[in-house]
């Protein structure tokens, strides 16, 4: 049995993918590592093939035409043999001791032979590593989830303003992902937001481990979280924001999991705020039109959600009227970025 499938989408990753793969193959025969070469132009494909030869039965090299990060995640899920599915970006890695603890706990649940008692989602901490600066910062959920306890969404506490569930923190049960129907758009950045959102209502039981598993590398100029890069790719950010806002009926979610619905609404609010703020930073007539259309689209699709976002969450503060409203929004954004040190 393969307990965890790790999907490693790679595009021109020859300079850093080995660190990632080396951290994953430590799981041995208990895991599956799918190295997905997304039409790379460098030696990524050859490196993937070499790892498959060196670790037969553990590493599988997958070659496909370029389709972007979403295509790699989709292909990994399509091929996954593991009971659980985890995406690890090729420039990131997992910490060894935390990895051992996670794998041991996954095996414990799987080998117990009680399918109804298996978590649909494991949640772990992640670490921002600014390697060029020599600094790191762990993001945890100690105030949100009871640690080392099988629980439901109704058992959780409130998220702080700087906390949200991102793909790096999540290890889904593979069957739950299939049930959710999540499929990421190709040739689009920021699709991890959809992956960390759409399957959540299908999660009936979850398990939080207070371990710093995922090591997230920051520092490359071309990273999608870079402010200038995000401004260039604003149309893709808007696209994913719209997909997230439209993929679930939060009123239905609230009937069973009211606390989850609150979190998911806040997640949309954050994405709306990010899109709105960066459109304001672009500061062009076209950008202002896109911002107006984004909010109008939310209103036409779900009027109740629109009013909640507009008047009941932080995103409403990013759609203040006039030039003065825009300046106030940007000033608040700069202050919040300094206080909460978000990316």
What does the pLDDT look like over 205-218, one tens digit per residue? 999 999 999 999 88
Q: Write the DSSP assignment of 157-204 as a string of letters.
A: -PPPTT----GGGEEEEHHHHHHHT--PPSS-S-THHHHTTTTGGG--
Distances (CA, A) of 176 to 119, 171, 202, 205: 10, 11, 6, 11
SS3 content of the chain, % helix, strand, coil (to 5): 50, 20, 30
What per-residue confidence (pLDDT) applies to 130?
A: 82
For residue 61, the surrounding DSSP H or E stretch is strand 59-64
> Which residues form the domain of 206?
4-218
What per-residue confidence (pLDDT) applies to 207?
A: 98
Query: In terms of domains, do 32 and 144 share one?
Result: yes
The rounded distance, in Å, linking the Cα atoms of 319 and 217 is 32
Query: In terms of domains, do 244 and 185 share one?
Result: no
Residue 328 has pLDDT above 90, yes or no: no
Query: In terms of domains, do 171 and 35 share one?
Result: yes
Query: In terms of domains, do 207 and 273 share one?
Result: no
What does the pLDDT look like over 90-99, one tens digit per residue? 999 999 999 9
Q: How many domains does the chain have?
A: 2
CB 290 within 8 A of CB 238: yes
Neighbouring C-beta atoms of residue 139, cutoff 10 Å: 18
Query: In terms of domains, do 135 and 20 share one?
Result: yes
Query: In terms of domains, do 304 and 207 share one?
Result: no
What per-residue confidence (pLDDT) applies to 132?
A: 74
Query: In terms of domains, do 96 and 241 share one?
Result: no
CB 60 within 8 A of CB 79: yes
What does the pLDDT look like over 144-153, one tens digit per residue? 999 999 999 9
What does the pLDDT look like over 60-89, one tens digit per residue? 999 999 999 999 999 999 999 999 999 999
CB 83 within 8 A of CB 3: yes
Q: At what angle do helices 258-282 and 322-340 cross, to 10 degrees?
A: 120
The rounded distance, in Å, linking the Cα atoms of 174 and 196 is 14
Query: In terms of domains, do 45 and 147 share one?
Result: yes
- The CATH number given to whatever domain includes residue 35 is 3.90.550.10
Query: In terms of domains, do 10 and 124 share one?
Result: yes
Query: In terms of domains, do 28 and 175 share one?
Result: yes
Give the residue with greater pLDDT, 331 vs 207. 207
What per-residue confidence (pLDDT) applies to 61?
A: 98
Per this entry, what is the length of the chain?
A: 343
The rounded distance, in Å, linking the Cα atoms of 329 and 8 is 37
Query: In terms of domains, do 214 and 168 share one?
Result: yes
Write the CB contacts of 316 (distance below 8 Å, at least 6 apart in sequence). Answer: 309, 310
Strand-pairing partners, residue 125, are 212
CB 166 within 8 A of CB 196: yes
**Whose structure tokens read 């911002």?**
291
Last residue of a domain, one of 218, 240, 265: 218
Last residue of a domain, one of 176, 191, 218: 218
Last residue of a domain, one of 188, 218, 248: 218
What does the pLDDT look like over 93-124, one tens digit per residue? 999 999 999 999 999 999 998 878 899 999 99
CB 39 within 8 A of CB 65: yes
What per-residue confidence (pLDDT) applies to 280?
A: 84
Q: What is the model's pTM?
A: 0.91
Distances (CA, A) of 306 to 18, 311, 328, 333: 45, 8, 21, 21
Q: From its phi and psi, is residue 341 left (phi > 0), alpha (psi between -120 and 50) or beta? A: left
What per-residue confidence (pLDDT) applies to 36?
A: 98
What per-residue confidence (pLDDT) applies to 91?
A: 95
Query: In terms of domains, do 234 and 90 share one?
Result: no
């Amino acid at each position: 049995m393969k307990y965890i499938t790790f999907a490693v989408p790679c595009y021109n990753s020859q300079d850093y993918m080995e660190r990632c793969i080396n951290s994953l193959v430590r799981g041995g025969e208990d895991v599956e590592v799918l190295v997905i070469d997304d039409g790379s132009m460098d030696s990524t494909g050859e490196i993937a093939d070499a790892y498959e030869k060196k670790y037969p039965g553990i590493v599988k090299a997958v070659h496909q035409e370029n389709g972007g990060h979403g295509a790699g995640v989709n292909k990994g899920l399509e091929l996954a043999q593991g009971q659980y599915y985890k995406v690890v970006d090729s420039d990131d890695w997992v910490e060894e001791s935390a990895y051992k603890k996670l794998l041991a706990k996954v095996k414990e649940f799987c080998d117990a032979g009680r399918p109804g008692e298996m978590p649909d989602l494991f949640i772990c901490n992640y670490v921002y590593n600014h390697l060029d600066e020599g600094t790191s910062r762990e993001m945890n959920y100690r105030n949100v989830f009871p640690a080392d306890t099988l629980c439901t969404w109704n058992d959780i506490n409130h998220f702080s303003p700087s906390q949200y569930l991102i793909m790096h923190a999540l290890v889904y049960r593979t069957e739950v992902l299939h049930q959710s129907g999540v499929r990421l758009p190709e040739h689009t950045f920021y699709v991890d937001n959809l992956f960390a959102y759409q399957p959540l209502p299908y999660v009936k039981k979850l398990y939080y481990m207070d371990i710093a598993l995922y090591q997230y590398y920051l520092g490359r100029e071309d990273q999608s979280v870079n402010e200038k890069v995000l401004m260039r790719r604003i149309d893709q950010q808007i696209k994913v924001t719209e997909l997230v806002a439209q993929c679930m009926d939060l009123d239905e979610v609230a009937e069973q999991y009211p606390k989850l619905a609150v979190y998911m609404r806040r997640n949309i609010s954050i994405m709306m705020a990010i899109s709105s703020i960066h459109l304001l930073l672009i500061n062009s007539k076209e950008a202002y039109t896109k911002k107006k259309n984004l909010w109008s689209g939310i209103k036409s699709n779900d009027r109740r959600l629109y009013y909640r976002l507009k008047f009941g969450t932080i995103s409403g503060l990013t759609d203040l009227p006039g030039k003065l409203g825009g300046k106030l929004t940007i000033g608040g954004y700069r202050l919040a970025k300094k206080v909460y040190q978000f990316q």
